[in-house]
Chain A
Amino acid sequence: GESVGLHLPTLSVQEGDNSIINCAYSNSASDYFIWYKQESGKGPQFIIDIRSNMDKRQGQRVTVLLNKTVKHLSLQIAATQPGDSAVYFCAEKTAYKYIFGTGTRLKVLA
């Protein structure tokens, strides 16, 4: 069946280091992907998106990479800050709906 998953449930990173959060998707027909950030007790916030006709997209301190060959999506956060501590999850758009991953908790160590 369709699934969106993450390799690591928790990622601990030293402040100032780069973070990489991974996501595997199973539906090769998915044409649009989003990374969301969710802080404790709050709703998810859009971080960055990428369409299937792209391999890489950069935002402010964040980069999303898409490897369609292996159906893999990653989120890179440069110079991780304490405010980056949250759960990050990916979403894939297939036809009319989105499928959401379970999330990775990012912990930033001082």
Chain B
Amino acid sequence: DGGITQSPKYLFRKEGQNVTLSCEQNLNHDAMYWYRQDPGQGLRLIYYSQIVNDFQKGDIAEGYSVSREKKESFPLTVTSAQKNPTAFYLCASSSATGNYGYTFGSGTRLTVV
């Protein structure tokens, strides 16, 4: 079955640590996205990539970094510079045009301890 897989489902981070969230898709989608979801707020775009080896900052990129070395993979690193990282993180993918919307992963809940 084609889909998009995020791991881990739950992640705990200590203060000052960097953590990396995994996102893999086998839908042959060109574009991939990372969103942050906080209670009572809409999805906020962190980073997106429309093609391998290229990515752009979204609305809230500070404290995050990404890479797109393979079409299937778009990992997100939450750095220690992100002051409020506790949130639900969603990865999504789409065709190059974004027509027919995004396919979302099941999410990773990151908690700072």
Task: Give me the interface of A with B, judged by CB distance under 8 Å.
Answer: 4, 9, 32, 34, 36, 41-46, 49, 89, 91, 93, 96-103
Contact = CB atoms under 8 A, between A and B. Distances in A.
B42 interface: yes
A97 to B, nearest CB: 7
Contact of B98 (A41, A45, A89, A96): A96
| B interface SS class | loop
Given A93-B101, A96-B98, 16 more contacts: A32-B99, A36-B104, A41-B109, A43-B6, A43-B90, A43-B106, A44-B104, A46-B101, A49-B101, A93-B98, A97-B98, A99-B42, A100-B42, A100-B43, A101-B42, A102-B40
Contacts, number: 42
Residue from the set B35, B42, B105, B107 with the largest chain A CB neighbour count within 10 Å:
B42
Contacts of B41: 102
A8 B102 CA distance: 24
A8 to B, nearest CB: 13
Interface residues of B, number: 19
Q: DSSP majority for the A interface? A: strand
Interface of B: 6, 35, 40-43, 45, 90, 98-107, 109
A45 B104 contact: yes
B21 to A, nearest CB: 13
A4 B44 CA distance: 12
A79 B9 CA distance: 33
Contacts of B104: 36, 43-45
Contacts of B43: 100
B109 A49 contact: no
Nearest to B99: A32
Nearest to A33: B101
Contacts of B105: 43
Contacts of B103: 46
